[in-house]
Amino acid sequence: MTVNKNRLIAYCASGIAFRMVSTAYSFYYVKVFMNLYHIKAYWFQMAQLVYLTWNVINDPLFGYIQDSKRLRITKTRRESILYCGPILVTTFIIPWFPWGDNSWVVGLHLILSLVSWDTVCTFMSLTMSALFVELSDKTEDRILLTKYYHAACILGTPTVLLLEFTSDSLSNFKTFQTTTVLIAVCSALLFLYAGINISSPYDPNTIKRTNSDIHQNNEIDKNISEGNESYCTQVCQYLSDVNFIAFAVTFFFHIFHKCFVNNFLGIVCDHLIPDDVFPKDARKIFYGGIPFISAICVVFGASFATRYSYYKVVQSVYGSMVLAGLIMLYIGQEHTWCLIIFLMLDRRPLSSMVFGTSSLIARPAISLSPMFVAAVLDIYGYSQLKGTESSLELKHAMFMLVCCYPIIIGSIQFVSWSFFKIPCKSEKTILIET
């Protein structure tokens, strides 16, 4: 591997820091606002609508700003991580400290929490994705970098497990708050380490003007000049490409499904899986262990996937996910252990490996998926529960969501992915860190 060792360690540190906060945030924010703050359906939908609108704007906008290199914070990837890391962990702890009991206060709390988190998270995600590409242009290096990165990120995945046990599954909310602050401090320290030690070969201060790299620097200058094209021009170029549309549609539903699993797994399992079948401690391990499974599968699955066509592997995953959903729907919700295994396998880490972190078309799925699921649950009276036993109709609705998500989304992805064309000799190069 030709990637500088110090850069590799610093990059992995940033990945651990990012994983620590992002895993906990996506798993808990919906559950906290719905179960503990009892947010009204109107305000939840309003918050997600604002989140959706900002998501559409900020992703390509920040990409354009980063490419412009005009601001100090965007001049180098190192400075972006150094300055934005502490800000990101600050936005991470905002949702866990309630502002008041009034419905509009809770709604405003969620809106500002989502917008502030997404603003910094998007900026950081773009920085880390660009850094992944810049660390090496060799396919073999990127595959190894993906392995090292996800192996390191395993150290950042226990945050849900830690929070489940320290807070007794949110029963002790003060302990939950304390633990989130400790997680934020650890994440901030890792971001600071990464920001101090990481650098990109394309950073101005690392480029040496020698005869041997004149051609390389000409290419860099050319890319920078292309990056200074207008925002609208760049967006139109992407939207006119069939390959991009096929990839973006597939990615949109990938995020749509992923957000359902991340945001509502705890809620669905608490109602569909009885405590006498799945004890509370086992449930905590299950919630905390799912991020481990995804990370480990990426580490050990990268070598397997590169031996075959990524295109065919991903398409086979979508086909199998449709089949699994149909089988689970046929079996029924009474077979609890089959449902547990089905939910555990519904992460599809191999398909995640080919998608980048951000996209103009796909980012709205982060808001649309919770909006849709929350609306369905509200129809069946979830917002009125407040500790009471859920009805059979609500449980059935949750089970149908669990089964129909992979069936419908997998079918759409199978079709849309078939329109994505890539030369066989370069299929391995579509591996992108997520």
Q: Quick one: pLDDT at residue 432?
A: 38
Measured CA to CA in angstroms, residue 263 lies from 42, 64, 70, 212, 392 at distances of: 18, 29, 37, 51, 22
Residue type, 407: I
Residue type, 428: K
Match 């066509």 to its residue by tokens.
Answer: 309
Measured on CA atoms in the order 319, 264, 430, 147, is the torsion positive or negative? Answer: negative
48 CB-near residues (< 8 Å, 6+ apart): 114, 367, 368, 370, 371, 374
Query: Could you tell me the pLDDT band of residue 58, with boundaries at 50, 70 and 90?
Result: confident
Q: Is residue 80 part of a domain?
A: yes
CA distance 15 to 34: 29
| Residue 367 belongs to domain with CATH number | 1.20.1250.20
66 CB-near residues (< 8 Å, 6+ apart): 74, 80, 123, 126, 127, 130
3-state helix, strand, coil in the chain (%, to 5): 80, 0, 20
Q: Is residue 224 part of a domain?
A: no
Half-sphere exposure of 399 (CA within 13 A, CB side): 24
- In the chain, the percentage of residues whose pLDDT exceeds 90 is 23
Alpha helices in 307-348 (DSSP H): 310-331, 336-345
CA distance 324 to 326: 5
State which residues form the domain around 401. Answer: 5-206+241-430
Q: Quick one: pLDDT at residue 202?
A: 61
Q: Quick one: pLDDT at residue 230?
A: 59
Alpha helices in 94-138 (DSSP H): 103-135
CA distance 167 to 27: 14
Nearest to 345 by CA among 321, 316, 326, 371: 321
Q: Is residue 232 part of a domain?
A: no
Flag whether pLDDT at 181 surpasses 60. Answer: yes
Nearest to 31 by CA among 379, 263, 262: 263
Contact 95, 21 (CB under 8 A): no
Q: Is residue 230 part of a domain?
A: no
Contact 273, 339 (CB under 8 A): yes
Nearest to 380 by CA among 399, 398, 353, 366: 398
Nearest to 180 by CA among 10, 27, 283: 27
Half-sphere exposure of 406 (CA within 13 A, CB side): 24
Q: Quick one: pLDDT at residue 70?
A: 59
Lowest average pLDDT, out of 39-48, 186-195, 235-244, goes to: 235-244
Q: What is the mean pLDDT of residues 166-180?
A: 93
Query: What's the whole-model pTM score?
Result: 0.76
Query: Could you tell me the pLDDT band of residue 67, with boundaries at 50, 70 and 90?
Result: low
Nearest to 296 by CA among 108, 135, 158: 158
Query: Could you tell me the pLDDT band of residue 332, with boundaries at 50, 70 and 90?
Result: confident
Residue type, 215: H
Contact 99, 327 (CB under 8 A): no
Output the six-digit token pair for 263.
């945001």
Flag whether pLDDT at 329 surpasses 60. Answer: yes
Q: What do you get for the CA distance between the two ends of the chain, in Å? A: 20
Contact 272, 283 (CB under 8 A): no
Q: Is residue 220 part of a domain?
A: no
- What is the tens place of the pLDDT at every residue in 84-132? 888 999 999 999 999 988 999 999 999 999 999 988 888 887 778 777 7
Q: Quick one: pLDDT at residue 194?
A: 87
CA distance 426 to 75: 31
Contact 98, 109 (CB under 8 A): yes
Measured on CA atoms in the order 220, 222, 228, 232, is the torsion positive or negative? Answer: negative
Element of type H or E holding 102: none
The 3-state secondary structure of 397-421 reads HHHHHHHHHHHHHHHHHHHHHHCCC
Q: Quick one: pLDDT at residue 293?
A: 73
Q: How many domains does the chain have?
A: 1
Q: Quick one: pLDDT at residue 200?
A: 66
Q: Is residue 102 part of a domain?
A: yes
